[in-house]
Amino acid sequence: VRSKLTIKVGVVGGTGYTGVELLRLLAIHDEVEVVAVTSRGESGNPVSSLFPSLRGFLDIDFCDPESTDLSVCDVVFYATPNGIAMQQVPELIAKGVRVIDLAADFRIKDIPTWEKWYGMEHACPELVEKAVYGLCEINREQIKDAKLIANPGCYPTSVQLPLIPLLKKGYISSENIIADCKSGVSGAGRGAVVSSLMSEVNESFKAYGVSGHRHLPEIEQGLSEAANAEVQMVFTPHLVPMNRGILSTIYVDLKDTDAQTIQTYLEDFYKDEEFVDILPFGSLPETRSVKGANMCRIALHQPQGRNKLVIVSVIDNLVKGAAGQAIQNMNIMFGLKDDAGLQMPPLLP
Amino acid sequence: VRSKLTIKVGVVGGTGYTGVELLRLLAIHDEVEVVAVTSRGESGNPVSSLFPSLRGFLDIDFCDPESTDLSVCDVVFYATPNGIAMQQVPELIAKGVRVIDLAADFRIKDIPTWEKWYGMEHACPELVEKAVYGLCEINREQIKDAKLIANPGCYPTSVQLPLIPLLKKGYISSENIIADCKSGVSGAGRGAVVSSLMSEVNESFKAYGVSGHRHLPEIEQGLSEAANAEVQMVFTPHLVPMNRGILSTIYVDLKDTDAQTIQTYLEDFYKDEEFVDILPFGSLPETRSVKGANMCRIALHQPQGRNKLVIVSVIDNLVKGAAGQAIQNMNIMFGLKDDAGLQMPPLLP
Amino acid sequence: VRSKLTIKVGVVGGTGYTGVELLRLLAIHDEVEVVAVTSRGESGNPVSSLFPSLRGFLDIDFCDPESTDLSVCDVVFYATPNGIAMQQVPELIAKGVRVIDLAADFRIKDIPTWEKWYGMEHACPELVEKAVYGLCEINREQIKDAKLIANPGCYPTSVQLPLIPLLKKGYISSENIIADCKSGVSGAGRGAVVSSLMSEVNESFKAYGVSGHRHLPEIEQGLSEAANAEVQMVFTPHLVPMNRGILSTIYVDLKDTDAQTIQTYLEDFYKDEEFVDILPFGSLPETRSVKGANMCRIALHQPQGRNKLVIVSVIDNLVKGAAGQAIQNMNIMFGLKDDAGLQMPPLLP
Amino acid sequence: VRSKLTIKVGVVGGTGYTGVELLRLLAIHDEVEVVAVTSRGESGNPVSSLFPSLRGFLDIDFCDPESTDLSVCDVVFYATPNGIAMQQVPELIAKGVRVIDLAADFRIKDIPTWEKWYGMEHACPELVEKAVYGLCEINREQIKDAKLIANPGCYPTSVQLPLIPLLKKGYISSENIIADCKSGVSGAGRGAVVSSLMSEVNESFKAYGVSGHRHLPEIEQGLSEAANAEVQMVFTPHLVPMNRGILSTIYVDLKDTDAQTIQTYLEDFYKDEEFVDILPFGSLPETRSVKGANMCRIALHQPQGRNKLVIVSVIDNLVKGAAGQAIQNMNIMFGLKDDAGLQMPPLLP
C-alpha cells in the first residue's frame, strides 16, 4: 500500500532493454505512478505479457503513442531509438512536461558534429542548447531546474566520472588519453539483428567501432569542457559475452601530481555521492559488483610505478549507464533524494 | 534513515552464495538489523571486502563464531554446510532464539533416512520432530509459531509447490511422477571444486545424481504426506551453464480430472499468495522471469491432448529456493507481511 | 597438397550454422572438392568474408543459386530452411545428382502428417517415398544406394539411437516414453529473431514447444517402426544457454528384462560403430564430451532400482545432429569409411 | 590405420587444460605416437576416464611420473605448473631427449628477473641460456636445432607477433606502448580455486594483475630485443566470461611511417606463414575466428586518422597460445611441415 502519488510518469518506447529496466525501477519507486507506457507494436497488450518478470509488479497495458496524451505526465522518459525524441519533445516541453531522453538526441551541443555522427538532420537544434547533460554528480545544479535532460551514454558515463574531476583540476595530461571499454550485449539493444544473436556473441570476444563510435564525440565534449581545451582521445569499445555491465580501462599520462594525491582528491570529490564509489588504490572492480544497481565503482593503479595512471571504472550499462541514471535525474529534478527508488544492492552472483 | 529496530538477525556462515544472498536481502529489509555475520576464515574483515557488491549497503565485519554471542539475536539464519546447524541449534533454541536453517539438517523427519542420505549421525533427532518444514504457502500456520524452521531445498520447492495441492486433492496419480529438473551452478555452492569451474560448466550441459540425489527423499516425504500414501518418483537433476535459476519439468498422469479443472483449481489455491504465480494454461516460463526475486511461476500443459500433464515450474534457486524463502519464513514468524523486504522485481535481462 | 578429387560437392544455403559447419568439415575432407556454395544474399562474396574462421581453409566465393549449374556435382547438400529442397531436388535427382537434405522435407513418410506439422503443401510426395531416412547406424544398407537422403533432425537422432534397438528387441515398453530434451541455441539457426538474442537466451532456461514440436512426429515414426506398433510419447524440448550440444533424458518403463542385460545388448548392438559410444552403466555424459565431433554418447541408469530406465544421450546438434551425420551419409553413399573427414576429437573445454 | 611411427612423445602433466589440449591435437597427428602421459593423482586410470571427450581417440592410461622412463621419448612436453620442468629437464636433455616446456621456466633470460616474478630460485640457469624461445614465426631457425624450447606465454604470443616486426623495422615508437589484453578463463588453469568458479566468472568482467603480471617481463624482453633498446610498456590483462580465446588491443604511437605502409609490410612479413593471418586494414577479428585452431589473426586501425595505431590480435589461448604452438615447435624441430596435425579449421559457433 504505497502512496504512489507524487510524480506522474510516462515512458515512450517501453519494449527495449532500457525500457524494461526503467519499468523495473519505476515499479517500486514510492513517489512515482506510471501512467503510460507507449509502444506501437504492443499497444493494448499488458506490459507483463511481453515481460513476465513484471507480472505482479506493474499492472498496465502498452498504449498507442498516437492516441496517448502524454501532457498529463509530470515527466516523460524517452527510451526510443535515436532521432525519435527530437521529433516529439518540443511539443511536450511547450506543454510544461519535463523530459528525460535516454537516447542521444540532445547530448552533443555542436549540431554539425551530431549530424555527422548520427547521420540525420537535427529536428530542434534550439532545444539542444537548453538541454542539460544529465551526468548527475557533475551537473547537479543545472539538472534541478532542467526542462530537458540528455541522459548520458553508457560508455561516456563510465569514462567521464573518473576523468572530469582530474582534468578540471589539471592533475593528468589531456593528451594521450586512451579508453579501452568493454560492454555486455544488452547495450546493443533488443533489435533482431544477427550480430546480437546468442550464437554470434557467446564464447567470443571482439572489438567494434574501432575506427569511430558515436560515443567518442560525446566523451571528448565532456573532457574538453573539463580540461578547458580540446581533448582528443582514443576510444575502443569491445563486446563481452554477458548481458550487463561495462568496464572501462582508461590510460592517462601523469603530470606532476603523484597517484596517491590523485586518489585522495577523487575520494574527496565524490565523498558525498551515494552512487560513485572510489575503491581503495589498486582495487580490481568487477562488473558484477554493480549488477542491477545504480553505481559506478572506480579504482586507480600505477603499474610498476611508471608514468601511466590506469583507471578502472565499472557500471551496469542499463542502470547507472541508462535507466538508473535517468531516474536519478528525475529524483534531482523533483527535489527527491538521489537514491529514491534506487536503493537495491547489486545482484551477486 | 530506516528504523531497523524490530528484528535482530544473526547469520552463521555468510561467505557462500546463500549467505551473500541473505545479506543482500536483509540489507534493505526495513524491519531488520543484522547484528552478526560469522565466518571462521574471514573473521575481522568487512563483509564488503569479500563481497564488494555490498559496499555502501551493509557496514559490518565478519565475526568469529567461537567468540560471538548469538543469543542476543531474535533469529539466526544458518547458511552453513549440512551438519553444522544441528550441532549448535539446540543451545540457541534453549536460549529462546528462533532459528531458520537453510541447510538440510532438519528437513527429513525419518532419522534413518536422513542419516543414510547425508552420511552422518544426526546430533539432535528430538529437534527434527519439532522443526517446521518452511514451505511457506503450504505450512504457514505452523510456521507462525515455529522455533525452528527447516528451510526447504531448492529443487523440492520448485517441485512441491505445484504437486502438493494436486495430490492432496487427488487430481493426479501418485504413480509415475517424474521431475526432470535443471539448475544453475550457484546451487553447487561457492566451494573450490573442479566440477564447478567456469571451464567445466560453461558451454556444456549434464545430468548428475541420476541414480540418487538427497532432494529425492525430501520431495517424496512432502508428496507422500500430501497424497496420504507413499509416493515414489523419479527425480533427475541437471546442471545448466548459468548462475541462477531452476526450472523443473514435471510429468504426471492425469486421472479423471481434466487439465482445465486442474488449472482453475491451482489458480484458486494460490490466489492470495504473492510469491506463487500460476501462469495462463500453456505458458512457457523462463527462469529469468524470476531472477533475483522471491517467486515461483508455474504453467500447465497437456501435450497433444493425451493423458500426461506437463508442469513447468521456475524459481531463483537462491531466492525462493533459499534466502528469499528463509526471509519469507522470518516474516511469517514475526508477524510481518510475507513480502516485507522482498518486493523487488526480477532482473531482466 | 591433398588430392581432393573423388567427390564433387555442392552446398545449397551456406550461410546458416548448419551450412558453415558443413563447410568446416568438408574443407578438410580428403576425398571432397567443394565446387559450389550458393547464397542469394552473399553471391559473389568470399565464403571467408562471412565466416573468417574459414580463411585459409576454404577459398571459394558464394554463387548465385539461379545461375549455378549444380548438375556437375556428385552430391548436393541442402542446408536450407524447410520447404526449399522439395522444390529443387526432383530436377537434380533426374540429372543423376545425389542429394542429402539437412532440412525436414523428406523425413516424414506420411504426407498429411508432414503437411500438418510444417504448414505447407508438399511439392513432391513421390520422392518422399523413395527418400532414405539417414540415421546411419540404423539404415546403413539403404543409405548405400540412396539417391536422396533425409538427414535426421537433431533431437530425433539423440532420442532414436538409444531407443530403436531396445524397442525392436522388445526390451522396453512402448508406452509411457518421455523424452526431456535440452539443446543449445545454434539449433534455432542464424535467423535474426528476438528470441535468439544473447540477452534473451543467456542466463536463462526455458522449455518451448511443450504442446507440440515438429520433431515429435519424426521421432514417433521411427519408434513406431522399431516397435512395430504405434508409439505415442511425450517430447519436451528446452533451450540451454550455450551454443552447441543436445542432451536428451529419456524415461522408459522396464518390462521383464533387467537393466544390465539391456546395457550389454546395447553395447553389443553398437560395438562396431565408431560414432555411437555406449558408456559404462551409470555414467553421466556431458555435451562437451562431443563438442565439435560426430559422436553420440549414451548412458543408462536405473534410479533406486525401481522400474524406470533413465537413458542419457548427448550429441553436438550441428555435427551428429546435422552436418556431421550428413557427411557420414555421404561417406556411406560413396563407399568411403564412415569416418572419412570426421576424425577430430571433441573440443574440451 | 595411421602409421604413427615417427615421433615418440611424452606428456608430463596431462590433467590440466593445456595437457588435454595437447592430447586432443597429438591424438590425430599422423607422425606421432603418444607413449606416456604422466599424472601423480590419476596414475593407472585411463586418460579417457578423466576426459571422456578423448574416448575412442586416445587409448592410454596415465602413468606415474616416478616410475616412468621418459628417456624412450623423442620429445617430452611439460604441461606442468611453473617450477616443475626446471627440476627434471636437465636429466632428460642429458639423455638426448628434446623438451618443450609449456610453462614459464625457460622463458626469461635474465635469471634475477625470472626469480623476482616467479618467486623461486631457478634450478638450472645454465639451461635457460641454451633454451630457444619458441615463437615459431620469429625464431624458426633456432628452433630447428633446439634441444629445449621455452614455449611462449599466451598473452606474449598475441602481443609479440604483431609488434616484433614493426619494432625491428623501426616503424613504430618503442615508447607509450599499451597492451590491453582479454582472456577466456581456461588460461587460469584447471586448479580448484574460488576465483575460477563459474558463478564468480560468468556474467562478469574484470581486470586483474593491473599492477604487475608475469607476462609483462616476457613481453618486454621480446620487444626490447626487437627494438634493440629497452622497451617499457603497460600490460593490462582482463578476464572474459568464456572458456577460450585471447584478444589483445594494442596501442602504439606512429612515427614517420603511415599506417598503410605498415599494413603492407606486415602482410609481406607473414605472407608465407600459415598460422599468422594479417587481415585487411580496419578488420574486426573475433576470438571465435580462431577457436580450437592454431592461428593468430591480426588487424590494424588508425582511429580518426590520428597518430595512434590500434592493433587487434586474436588467438586461442590453448592452441596458438599453448598446445598448438608447442606442436608447431615440435614439427619444426623434427623437420615436418609447420601444419602437420594442425590443419583443423576453427569451430564456429
Residues B204-237: b if buried by 16+ CB within 10 A, e if exposed: bbbbebbeebbbbbbbbbbbbbbbeeebbbbbbb
Grid cell of C279 as nine digits? 558408456
Q: Which residues of A are known to be catalytic? A: 154
CA nearest to C302 within chain B: B211
Share of chain B above pLDDT 70, in %: 99
Q: Do C243 and A198 touch (CB under 8 A)?
A: yes
Determine the residue among A116, A205, A216, A287 to mutate to test chain D binding: the one whose Cβ has the most chain D Cβ atoms within 10 Å: A205
Residue C310: its H or E element:
strand C308-315
Q: What is the number of other CB atoms lying within 10 angstroms of the CB of residue A274?
A: 16
Task: State which amino acid sits at residue A150.
Answer: A
DSSP state for residue A71 in the 8-state scheme: G
- CA dist A263 → A287, A295, A299, D100 (Å): 21, 18, 9, 45
Mean pLDDT of D309-335: 98
* D295 chain-C contacts, CB cut-off 8 A: 56
Cα angle value B166/B250/B300 (rounded, 5°): 65
Q: By C-alpha distance, which of A278, A285, A282 is closest to A309?
A: A282
CB contact, 8 Å: A196 with chain C? yes
Q: Do A196 and C197 touch (CB under 8 A)?
A: yes
Q: What is the pLDDT of residue A5?
A: 58
Mean pLDDT of D342-349: 96
**Burial class of residue A228 (count of CB atoms within 10 Å of its CB; 0-12, 13-18, 19+):** exposed
Q: How far is B247 from chain D (nearest CA, A)?
A: 18
Determine the residue among C53, C193, C196, C197 to mutate to test chain A binding: the one whose Cβ has the most chain A Cβ atoms within 10 Å: C197
Of A208, A210, A282, the CB nearest to D303: A210
C-beta separation of C12 from C88 below 8 A: yes
Q: How far is B239 from chain C (nearest CA, A)?
A: 10
* D51 chain-C contacts, CB cut-off 8 A: 348
- Pairing state between β D296-301 and D276-278: parallel
| Distance in angstroms between the alpha carbons of the first and the last residue of chain A | 31
Q: Do B182 and C205 touch (CB under 8 A)?
A: yes
The ipTM assigned to this model is 0.97
Q: What is the pLDDT of residue C1?
A: 38
Mean pLDDT of A191-212: 97
Alpha carbon dihedral B174, B175, B180, B186, in 10-degree steps, equals 50
pLDDT mean across residues, chain B: 97
Phi then psi for residue A188, to 5 deg, are -85, -5
Provide block-wise average pLDDT over 10 residues at a time, chain C (349 residues): 71 96 97 96 96 97 95 98 97 98 98 98 97 98 98 98 98 98 97 97 98 97 98 98 98 97 98 98 98 98 97 98 98 97 96
Cα angle value D309/D311/D313 (rounded, 5°): 175
CA atoms within 13 A on the CB side of D342: 28
Residues C2-20: b if buried by 16+ CB within 10 A, e if exposed: eebebbbbbbbbbbbbbbb
CA nearest to C244 within chain D: D349
Mean pLDDT of A2-25: 88
Q: Do C206 and B301 touch (CB under 8 A)?
A: no
Q: What is the number of other CB atoms lying within 10 angstroms of the CB of residue B335?
A: 10
DSSP SS3 for B179: strand
C-beta separation of A62 from A23 below 8 A: no
List, for residues D9-35, the tens digit of each pLDDT value. Answer: 999 998 999 999 999 999 999 999 999
CB contact, 8 Å: A287 with chain D? yes
Q: How far is C132 from chain D (nearest CA, A)?
A: 28
Q: What is the number of other CB atoms lying within 10 angstroms of the CB of residue A283?
A: 18
Alpha carbon dihedral D204, D205, D211, D214, in 10-degree steps, equals 100
Residue written as grid cell 511469517: B332
Least confident of A340-344, C265-269, D3-7, D282-286: D3-7
Q: Which residues of B are known to be catalytic? A: 154
CA nearest to B349 within chain D: D203
DSSP SS3 for A325: helix
Q: What is the pLDDT of residue B5?
A: 58
Q: Which of C63, C73, C136, C154 is catalytic?
A: C154
List, for residues B271-315, the tens digit of each pLDDT value. Answer: 999 999 999 999 999 999 999 999 999 999 999 999 999 999 999
Q: How far is D109 from chain A (nearest CA, A)?
A: 20
List, for residues C90-137, the tens digit of each pLDDT value. Answer: 999 999 999 999 999 999 999 999 999 999 999 999 999 999 999 999
Q: By C-alpha distance, which of B243, B199, B193, B248 is closest to B81?
A: B193
pLDDT mean across residues, chain A: 97
CA nearest to A201 within chain C: C198
DSSP state for residue B75 in the 8-state scheme: E
pLDDT surpasses 80 at D78: yes
Residue D165: its H or E element:
helix D154-169
* C347 chain-D contacts, CB cut-off 8 A: 24, 53, 291-292, 347
Share of chain B above pLDDT 90, in %: 98
List, for residues A220-244, the tens digit of each pLDDT value. Answer: 999 999 999 999 999 999 999 999 9
Q: Do D242 and A205 touch (CB under 8 A)?
A: yes
DSSP SS3 for D24: helix
Sign (positive/negative) of CA torsion D43, D48, D51, D52?
negative
Alpha helices per DSSP H over A51-118 = 85-94, 111-118
pLDDT bucket at B1, cuts 50 / 70 / 90: very low
Q: By C-alpha distance, which of B89, B57, B319, B76 is closest to B186?
A: B319
Dist. CA A104–CA A215, nearest whole Å: 9
* A196 chain-C contacts, CB cut-off 8 A: 197-199
CA nearest to D181 within chain A: A180
Q: What is the pLDDT of residue B232?
A: 97
Grid cell of D343 as nine digits? 590443419
Beta bridge partners of C314: C247, C297
Q: Rounded to 5, what percent of chain C is helix, strand, coil?
A: 35, 20, 40
Give the A window 21-40 contacts with B, CB below 8 Å: 24, 27-28
Q: Which of D73, D136, D154, D296 is catalytic?
A: D154
